[in-house]
Amino acid sequence: MAEQAFVTLATNDSYAKGAMVLAKSLRKHKTSKKLVVLVGPHVSDQSRAVLHKIYDEVRLVDVMDSGDTAHLAMMKRPDLGVTLTKLHCWTLTHYSKCVFMDADTLVVSNIDELFDREELSAAPDPGWPDFFNSGVFVFRPSNETYSKLLQYCTEHGSFDGGDQGVLNGFFSDWSTADITKHLPFIYNMSSIAIYTYLPAFKQYGANAKVVHFLGQMKPWSYTYDPKQRRVRGDVQEASHPSFLLEWWALYSSEVVPMLFREYGDQPFHSGCEEDVAPSQDAPLPMSSAERKQKWEQGQADYMGIDSFDNIQKKLDAFLK
Ligand SMILES: *[C@@H]1O[C@H](CO)[C@@H](O)[C@H](O)[C@H]1NC(C)=O
Ligand SMILES: *[C@@H]1O[C@H](CO)[C@@H](O)[C@H](O)[C@H]1NC(C)=O
Ligand SMILES: *[C@@H]1O[C@H](CO)[C@@H](O)[C@H](O)[C@H]1NC(C)=O
């Protein structure tokens, strides 16, 4: 029998961090399945090198380069770039069945039993329960399904501009066809849902299996103090603090050392506060999370807070 695999997608270095932690969490909970990551062309060599060490298979997906129907779909619908990359998971035909998980999910328990379910199994979306959330779903790789999906994309686009719209359109009988394809609440533990449905969380929280960090702020948008084991920044109510902490504990202890090894002498910001010791006398006008975000967007404040002088000062203070 062909093997089975968990599959995720990393489109840039931020999401690559998520993918690294997701794989570590799957291994920590002793999955017996293979781990596969699809990477887009914008992921750095260093991130790819680390992904190679953590995943069984790293597959580069460059839709613009694929020269097939995916390329054609991309020409017609350039807005669907990331979606088309995600749909590539159906081409993993050397696996008999797979579970796709977004890179902003974290596994807090073994979930191999998901492979007992059939395509397309998914949890209801918190916003609109007749639709499924495409953050976690069970599927069967198939070149035939893949080309039908591409055709669907080209003809119909996506009603929400992303993969959730395409998949709900294509698998449109999900809400009525077969109730075993509806995953229960424990696979549907979005961090927003935990807050909104606190009573339900109190009842089911101990059984949580997957946490999905929905919303703007992702775990890697924060900073972390490894000594005190505290997440810094405006920890919004939307992100359940204990799961956020769990993400950071895995990331800082198991992923960050691997990233530093790959980056060597080149600058790399892990998000852990030890990287750059905070200056004690100069209060920071921007939160470090905001600064980090700007930095990641290539908008470091080189004339001000991130100027060489300031960094030098911090290093001096740190070395003293
Ligand atoms: C990384 O990719 C995700 C989608 O895959 C996107 O939402 C996010 O804005 C990207 N982040 C950066 C810093 O480019
Ligand atoms: C699906 O297509 C890929 C790429 O064209 C090919 O390598 C693979 O063997 C195909 N799988 C099957 C089961 O035909
Ligand atoms: C999935 O989560 C939403 C809240 O986020 C909830 O309303 C819905 O009932 C859940 N689905 C199932 C099958 O438990």
User: Which pLDDT score, from 0 to 100, does residue 192 have?
Assistant: 43
Ligand 1: nearest atom to the Cα of 9: 5
Ligand 1: nearest atom to the Cα of 296: 13
Ligand 1 center to 263 CA (angstroms): 21
Q: What is the pLDDT averaged over residues 30-45?
A: 97
User: Which pLDDT score, from 0 to 100, does residue 206 have?
Assistant: 62
At 189, is the secondary structure helix, strand, or coil?
A: strand
Ligand 1 center to 82 CA (angstroms): 9
Q: In terms of Cα–Cα distance, which of 4, 81, 88 is closest to 38?
A: 88
Q: What is the pLDDT averaged over residues 268-286?
A: 62
Say if ligand 2 is within 6 A of residue 143 CB.
yes
Ligand 3 center to 175 CA (angstroms): 13
User: 3-185: which CATH number, 3.40.50.150, 3.90.550.10, 3.40.50.2000, 3.30.70.100?
Assistant: 3.90.550.10
Ligand 2 center to 139 CA (angstroms): 16
Q: What is the pLDDT averaged over residues 20-45?
A: 97
Most confident of 26-30, 64-68, 280-284, 289-293: 26-30
Q: Is the pTM of this model over 0.85?
A: no
Strand partners of residue 223: 232
Q: What is the pLDDT of residues 191-250, one digit of tens each?
A: 444 434 444 445 555 667 888 887 788 899 999 998 888 888 776 654 567 788 899 999
> Is the peptide bond preceding residue 120 cis, with omega within 30 degrees of 0?
yes
CA quadruple 176, 178, 181, 184: dihedral sign? positive
Q: What is the pLDDT averaged over residues 298-314?
A: 46
State which of 185, 203, 212, 214 you would mutate to test the pocket of ligand 3, scoring each by most atoms of that ligand within 8 A of its C-beta: 185
| Residue ranges of the chain that CATH labels 3.90.550.10 | 3-185
Ligand 3 center to 187 CA (angstroms): 9
304 has pLDDT over 50: no
Q: What is the pLDDT of residues 84-139, one digit of tens each?
A: 899 999 999 999 999 999 999 999 889 999 999 999 998 877 667 678 888 889 99
Calpha distance 283→279 (Å, rounded): 8
Say if ligand 1 is within 6 A of residue 13 CB.
no
**3-state helix/strand/coil string of 132-143:** EEEEEEEECCCH
At 117, is the secondary structure helix, strand, or coil?
A: coil
Query: Among the listed ranges 37-46, 51-60, 303-312, which one has the minimum average pLDDT value?
Result: 303-312
Ligand 3: nearest atom to the Cα of 193: 5
